[in-house]
Amino acid sequence: MIVNAGKYQVNITEKIFVPLEREIKKAKCSSIHIICDENTLQHCVPFLVSNCPSLKLAEIIEIESGESSKCIEVATGIWDTLLANGAARDALIINAGGGVVTDLGGFCASVYKRGISFINVPTSLLAMADAAVGSKTAIDHQSVKNVIGTFAEPRAVFANPDFLPTLPERHIKNGFAEILKMALIADKHLWEEVKNGKLKNGHIQKAVSLKVAIVSQDKYDKGKRKALNYGHTAGHALEALGGGQLLHGEAVVAGMIIENYIASDLKILKPETASLINNVLRNLYPDELPQFNATDAVKFLQNDKKIHSGKYNFSLLNGIGKCRTDVRVTEKQFMKACEKYHSLL
């Protein structure tokens, strides 16, 4: 299945190799560089290279897996390698990995020699359903998530669900969190389908189509796109607070629960709807949701880019499948919601 994302296409199919090969040929690049981590190097890159003749001579740039690689030091290492290998303006980067590789690799490509082409080949569920699409690239800095980044479109995205069987179960659940989020902000029918926690054929496509539909109305995050931040304002604070222990999707689930309590407190979301959603999320993630100190979490909230004049800018549900953006929330309201979150655990 192909989702048109403006200038580029997202191909979601087990048969990515023929169109991927075609796209690489079309790029007419002078060199190809595959960015991956040790896990995708082991489980995904050989499959890719053996099925795409154009990749046989590609240079492999391996980074260490995990969020800690989304930093300026690792980015510098990638630029050093590109330079050392003579990567020119018409070089092509293939990001073969999860959201860390697509965010970092996309960022490196988007500023190297003022921007070279890249193709995303997401290999984790989270990257297939979310991170590889939508043109946001980023690295973290001083424990602040995604604080340095660019908007840069890939040449194309090729998501092959055949990569998923080697993905650890924890990371499947992690990626599923973003599908739950998409359903909650944009599609109540999808929510009915996914609230049992079972990933089915078609869920990745649905999540990608919903994201593309939102991004196409607001590429630069000035309006409608902010709905995608639901669960992420609180979630990013917890992810940073967790110092790498908590995965992105797990932090987002906790963030969604907290933010539903805020929405209910502000009378944006009916309390019974908030509690219905929160019970579903708590039951789907019984062992993943963290306990934390709310005062510490506020410190990381203060670092979040969505802050405005002393209040925090949240995107909150105003029903299942609906989201209101730019809701100003006080520290006190956030702390109160954290308390309710802890009583739910």
Could you list the residues that contact ligand NAD (CB under 6 A)?
Answer: 37, 39-40, 43-44, 65-67, 70, 97-101, 103, 123-124, 126-127, 130-131, 134, 136, 146, 163, 166-167, 171, 174, 248
Q: Give the whole-angstrom CA distance, residue 193 versus residue 165.
A: 22
Q: Give the whole-angstrom CA distance, residue 251 versus residue 246.
A: 6
Rounded least distance, CB 230 to ligand NAD, Å: 12
Rounded least distance, CB 114 to ligand NAD, Å: 21
- Say which residues have a Cβ less than 8 Å from residue 49's Cβ, sequence separation at least 6: 34, 55, 56, 58
Strand 136-141 to 144-151 pairing: antiparallel
C-beta of 29 vs 258, nearer to ligand NAD: 258
C-beta of 49 vs 167, nearer to ligand NAD: 167
C-beta of 128 vs 268, nearer to ligand NAD: 128
C-beta of 138 vs 274, nearer to ligand NAD: 138
The type of residue at 56 is: K
The type of residue at 175 is: G
Rounded least distance, CB 169 to ligand NAD, Å: 11
C-beta of 171 vs 226, nearer to ligand NAD: 171
Closest CA to 97 of 79, 122, 119, 78: 122
Task: Look up tokens 């934390």; give the residue.
Answer: 292
C-beta of 171 vs 306, nearer to ligand NAD: 171
Residue nearest to ligand NAD (CB): 99
C-beta of 274 vs 301, nearer to ligand NAD: 301
Rounded least distance, CB 63 to ligand NAD, Å: 9
- The torsion defined by the Cα of 264, 196, 235 and 135, in degrees rounded to 10, comes to -110
Structure tokens at 213: 């539909």
Cα 57 to the center of its chain, rounded Å: 30
The CA radius of gyration of the chain, in Å to the nearest whole number, is 20
Structure tokens at 302: 């203060």
C-beta of 23 vs 140, nearer to ligand NAD: 140
Residues 10-43 as b/e (b if ≥16 CB within 10 A, e otherwise) read: bbbbeebbeebeebbeebebebbbbbbbebbbee
